[in-house]
């Protein structure tokens, strides 16, 4: 069996650790390789390589960094199908969905290609007599990224291209469930011309995470994952004096108004709720039916959910693949059981699904609940599976109030044909990313991605303009060139420049 180790100084790096984690094909329920669970010594080696590479990389002109990003982007395009196949093999999502996720990561690399322009500071001439001021945006040093299992290529590409383009070096800790994509990304970055030590990968679990969070030479940490872990990452890294952006969980609502295009809305909700088996932080897990649209909405959703094409993600025409692991499948089934026990109406039951030829796979069928109330567990907790809950309300204002009370605030959407309704929703909703007739409003790369409340810990969102602010620090320089013969006098008061 192949073992995946680490990537340090632009080459595979073995570990003295004897601990391993099985990497499983979730459609087949079979172990296909394993990955090393590294130790603190491995982290120290990776950080040391990144620290050694930092001075030269920091001093590399941004335009040269941009040219490496351009080549990296070309290589991502050429290897998109190879990356997507690895994603489908280790995560389970459909090949088409995996291709789309690679493209969304590639878009961030395209944004990073403009780094030479985006790093420009500001200048103010003559702020005082003969005095000028200007600002610089300078890199931090070694940055770290801790990424989740559900987007093995996209989320790493949200992090390290921006950090590296800004002049930092990087240590990536991918999910031990899906390690192969990150290793291929590192190889492509090397082929693009990235110098030794600029991008490093340490595979592992909590031991690696804790070592990164406490390491003196790591200046910033980016994280995407569940809210409890995001909170832990934020608190621990901040206690060690690091910048932190920690993106947590979600319970995304879609408000369905009576005046919406119902067929369009149904199709949008199907993809948003059941795409990637619901294992997306931007998945719609709650449909808020306003007024008399509820019965028709539930009826049409049920018909579509029962007809979902569920199979190995590499099979053409598959709409939904398996969930990531047997443990996660059991967790999802437990939520379905609990929803039924707490009184929600189980309209479509995804339990007991078996896929021919893949009987050992980790499959859960599309599940639909109606008459869900805010006090139920399936409403309050992030299920992270193919389970859609329908909550019935009487008005737009009631829907807005419901969403604004939720502990999560990652994404939301409204489906309507009324511009006034949309405008009211846009302005009143307290959520970081909002869609109008767009079910998964993930911003394009030249905006930034991030939620509010318990969906984000830290001040800056990920990728886009906020990534520039996160991965650099501003320095303001005020200077004067005294003329020859100018009188100089001691001054013991706060200086003014007028």
Q: What pLDDT does residue 464 have?
A: 85
The DSSP annotation for 336-366 comes to HHHHHHTT-EEEE--TT---TT-TTS-----
Q: Which fold has domain 252-436?
A: Aldehyde Dehydrogenase; Chain A, domain 2 (3.40.309)
Q: What pLDDT does residue 10 have?
A: 97
The CA distance from 244 to 145, in Å, is: 10
The catalytic position among 143, 166, 260, 281 is 281
The DSSP annotation for 237-294 comes to HHHTT-EEEEE----EEEEE-TTS-HHHHHHHHHHHHHGGGG--TT-EEEEEEEGGGH
pTM score, whole prediction? 0.92
* Sequence ranges of the chain with CATH classification 3.40.605.10: 2-249+451-477
Q: Partners of 134 in the beta sheet?
A: 123, 477
Catalytic annotation present for 389 = no
SS3 384: coil
Chain centroid offset of residue 288 CA = 25
CATH number of 2-249+451-477: 3.40.605.10
Q: pLDDT tens-digit profile of 332-374?
A: 999 999 999 999 999 999 999 999 999 999 999 999 999 999 9
Q: What pLDDT does residue 139 have?
A: 97
Q: What pLDDT does residue 127 have?
A: 87
Per-residue confidence in pLDDT tens, the chain, 498 aa: 799 999 999 999 999 999 999 999 999 999 999 999 999 999 999 999 999 999 999 999 999 999 999 999 999 999 999 999 999 999 999 999 999 999 999 999 999 999 999 999 899 999 888 888 999 999 999 999 999 999 999 999 999 999 999 999 999 999 999 999 999 999 999 999 999 999 999 999 999 999 999 999 999 999 999 999 999 999 999 999 999 999 999 999 999 999 999 999 999 999 999 999 999 999 999 999 999 999 999 999 999 999 999 999 999 999 999 999 999 999 999 999 999 999 999 999 999 999 999 999 999 999 999 999 999 999 999 999 999 999 999 999 999 999 999 999 889 999 999 999 999 999 999 999 999 999 999 888 888 888 889 888 888 888 888 899 999 999 999 998 887 766 565 566 666 665
The CA distance from 57 to 72, in Å, is: 16
* Sequence ranges of the chain with CATH classification 3.40.309.10: 252-436
């Amino acid at each position: 069996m192949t073992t995946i180790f680490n990537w340090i100084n632009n080459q595979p790096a073995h570990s003295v650790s004897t601990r391993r984690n099985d990497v499983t094909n979730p459609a087949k329920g079979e172990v296909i390789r394993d990955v090393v669970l590294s130790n603190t010594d491995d982290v120290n080696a990776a950080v040391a390589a990144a620290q050694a590479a930092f001075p030269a990389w920091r001093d590399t002109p941004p335009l040269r960094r941009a040219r490496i990003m351009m080549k990296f982007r070309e290589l991502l395009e050429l290897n998109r199908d190879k990356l997507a196949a690895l994603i489908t093999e280790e995560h389970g999502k459909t090949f088409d969905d995996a291709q789309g996720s690679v493209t969304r990561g590639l878009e961030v690399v395209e944004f990073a290609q403009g780094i030479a322009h985006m790093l420009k500071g500001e200048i103010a001439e003559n702020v005082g007599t003969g005095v000028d001021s200007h600002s610089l945006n300078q890199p931090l040093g070694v940055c770290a990224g801790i990424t989740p299992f559900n987007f093995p290529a996209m989320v790493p590409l949200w992090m390290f291209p921006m950090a590296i383009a800004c002049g930092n070096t990087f240590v990536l800790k991918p999910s031990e469930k899906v390690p192969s994509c990150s290793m291929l990304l590192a190889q492509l970055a090397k082929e693009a011309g990235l110098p030794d030590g600029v991008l490093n990968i340490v595979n592992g679990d909590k031991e690696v995470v804790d070592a990164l969070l406490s390491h003196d030479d790591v200046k910033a940490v980016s994280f995407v994952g569940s809210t409890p872990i995001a909170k832990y990452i934020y608190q621990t890294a901040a206690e060690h004096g690091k910048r932190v952006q920690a993106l947590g969980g979600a319970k995304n609502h879609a408000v369905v108004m009576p005046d919406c295009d119902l067929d369009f809305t149904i199709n949008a909700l199907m993809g948003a709720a059941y795409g990637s088996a619901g294992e997306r932080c931007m998945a719609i897990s709650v449909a808020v039916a306003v007024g008399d649209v509820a019965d028709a909405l539930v009826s049409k959703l049920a018909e579509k959910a029962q007809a979902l094409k569920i199979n190995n993600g590499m099979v053409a025409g598959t709409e939904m693949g398996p969930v990531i692991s047997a443990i996660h499948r059991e967790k999802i089934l437990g939520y379905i059981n609990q929803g039924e026990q707490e009184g929600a109406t189980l309209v479509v039951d995804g339990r007991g699904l078996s896929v021919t030829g893949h009987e050992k796979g980790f499959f859960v069928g599309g599940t639909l609940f109606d008459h869900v109330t805010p006090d139920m567990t399936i409403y309050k907790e992030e299920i992270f599976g193919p389970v859609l809950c329908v909550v019935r309300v009487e008005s737009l204002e009631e829907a807005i109030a419901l969403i604004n009370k939720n502990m999560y605030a990652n994404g939301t959407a409204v489906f309507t044909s009324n511009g006034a309704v949309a405008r009211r929703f846009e302005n009143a909703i307290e959520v970081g990313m909002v869609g109008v007739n767009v079910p998964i409003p993930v911003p394009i790369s030249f905006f930034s991605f991030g939620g509010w409340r318990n969906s984000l810990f830290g001040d800056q969102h990920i990728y886009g303009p906020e990534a520039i602010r996160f991965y650099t620090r501003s320095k303001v320089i005020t200077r004067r060139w005294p003329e020859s013969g100018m009188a100089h006098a001691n001054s013991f008061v706060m200086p003014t420049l007028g």
